[in-house]
Amino acid sequence: MTRLIAYISIPCALALAPLAAAADPAPQTLFGQPVQAAPELTEEEIAARRAAFEKYLEENDLIHAGGLVVPRSMAEDDLSAGPRPSYAWDTPPKRHTVFLNFFGGEMTGGTNSALMESPCIQGGTVQYPQFLRSEQEALAIIQVFKDAMEPFGVRIAYEKAPPKHLPYSMVMMGGKPQVIGLPNGVLGVACNLDCGDTWWRDTTFAFTEVAGDIQVLGTTALQEAAHAWGLDHIDGEDNIMYPYATFGKKVWADTCTPYNAATGPIGCEYVHDEFCGENGGAQNDIAELMAFFGANSVDDVAPTVTLLSPEDGAMIEPGTDVLVKAEVSDNFEGYGWRMMIPEANIEQPAYSGEKQWSIKPPKGTYTIRVEALDHDGNIGFAESVIHVGVEPTDPTTGEPTTGSDTSGTTSEGPPGESDTEDSTGGGGSNATVDPATATAPLDPGTDESGCNCVTAPVSRDMSVWMLALAGLGLVRRRRT
- pLDDT band (50, 70, 90) for residue 211: confident
**How far is residue 69's CA from residue 227's CA, in Å, rounded to a whole number?**
13
Nearest to 119 by CA among 7, 3, 264: 7
We report the CATH number of the domain holding residue 353 as: 2.60.40.10
**How far is residue 186's CA from residue 184's CA, in Å, rounded to a whole number?**
6
Q: Is residue 425 situated within a structural domain? A: yes
Neighbours of 470 (CB within 10 A): 9
- Per-position DSSP letters for 326-388, written without gaps between them: EEEE-SSBT-EEEEEEGGGTEEEE-TT---EEEE---SEEEEEEEEEE-TT--EEEEEEEEEE
- What pLDDT, on a 0 to 100 scale, did the predictor assign at position 62? 67
Q: Is residue 477 situated within a structural domain? A: no
Q: Is residue 475 situated within a structural domain? A: no
What average pLDDT does this structure show over 267-285? 88
The answer on 380 and 280 residing in a single domain is no
pLDDT tens string 244-261: 888 899 999 999 999 998
Q: Is residue 217 situated within a structural domain? A: yes
The answer on 340 and 240 residing in a single domain is no
The answer on 308 and 275 residing in a single domain is no
pLDDT top residue among 408 and 292: 292
The answer on 310 and 283 residing in a single domain is no
The answer on 289 and 196 residing in a single domain is yes
Phi-psi region of 142 (alpha: psi -120 to 50; beta: other; left: phi over 0): alpha
Nearest to 305 by CA among 389, 368, 248, 259: 368
- Decide if pLDDT at 2 tops 90: no
The answer on 115 and 51 residing in a single domain is yes
The answer on 284 and 204 residing in a single domain is yes
pLDDT tens string 328-349: 999 999 999 999 999 988 999 9
Return all residues near 359 (Cβ < 8 A) that are at least 6 apart: 321, 322, 324, 341, 465, 468, 469
pLDDT top residue among 347 and 442: 347
The answer on 344 and 365 residing in a single domain is yes
pLDDT top residue among 475 and 281: 281
Kindly state the percentage of the chain with pLDDT values over 90: 50
The answer on 456 and 321 residing in a single domain is yes
Domain boundary residue among 240, 267, 293? 293
pLDDT top residue among 340 and 53: 340
Nearest to 158 by CA among 135, 180, 175, 129: 135
Nearest to 436 by CA among 415, 421, 416, 414: 421
What residue numbers bound the domain in which 418 lies?
304-470
pLDDT tens string 351-377: 999 999 999 999 999 999 999 999 999
What mean pLDDT is reported for the chain?
A: 78
Q: Is residue 478 situated within a structural domain? A: no
The answer on 314 and 171 residing in a single domain is no
pLDDT tens string 143-172: 999 999 999 999 999 999 999 999 999 999
The answer on 186 and 261 residing in a single domain is yes
Q: Is residue 3 situated within a structural domain? A: no
Domain boundary residue among 293, 319, 347? 293
Q: Is residue 215 situated within a structural domain? A: yes
Phi, psi dihedral angles at 179 (to 5 degrees): -60, -35
- Decide if pLDDT at 429 tops 70: no
Q: Is residue 159 situated within a structural domain? A: yes
Domain boundary residue among 293, 317, 337? 293
- pLDDT band (50, 70, 90) for residue 57: confident
For the chain, the domain total comes to 2
Question: Which residues on neighbouring strands pair with residue 364, listed in sequence order?
Answer: 388
Of the segments 77-91, 265-279, 418-432, 446-460, which one has the largest average pLDDT value? 265-279
- Please state the pTM of the whole predicted model: 0.78
Return all residues near 366 (Cβ < 8 A) that are at least 6 apart: 341, 343, 344, 385, 386, 388, 456
Nearest to 190 by CA among 159, 218, 232: 232
- What pLDDT, on a 0 to 100 scale, did the predictor assign at position 395? 67
The answer on 222 and 92 residing in a single domain is yes
Kindly state the percentage of the chain with pLDDT values over 70: 71
